Amino acid sequence: MTIYICCVSGFSSSILARNLENWLKERMDSEVLVESASYRTIKDEGEMADIILLAPQLHWTKDELSSMFPTTPIFLIERLDYGLGKAEPVGRQILAMINH
């Protein structure tokens, strides 16, 4: 599974990406890769994503990205979870979607 965390430049999401990848690896049987991506590059790389997570500053792009990648689930990351790099709430949302 490949998950992209999209932020403005692709840098601020790196802490959450690392934390989320570690959290998910402990709870999933399949291989998981969590990558940071900028808003610019997600338009090119988004088709490779199984899930796209949007940083709080890019919540406004959800409709646009949903139309570009209609079969890819796109989740919004809460401001506090993003700012503190809290993987658990984000990971639980992903696991709920996978197990549903």
> Which pLDDT score is estimated for 78?
96
Q: Which domains does the chain have, with CATH numbers?
A: 2-99 (3.40.50.2300)
Task: Indicate whether 5 pLDDT > 90.
Answer: yes
Q: Closest Cα to residue 77, out of 68, 69, 61, 64?
A: 61
Task: Indicate whether 34 pLDDT > 80.
Answer: yes
Task: Give the alpha-carbon dihedral of 93, 21, 4, 17, to 10 degrees.
Answer: 100
- The pTM score is 0.93
Task: Indicate whether 12 pLDDT > 90.
Answer: no
> Which pLDDT score is estimated for 48?
94
Band of pLDDT at residue 25, cut at 50, 70 and 90: very high
Mean pLDDT value across the chain: 94
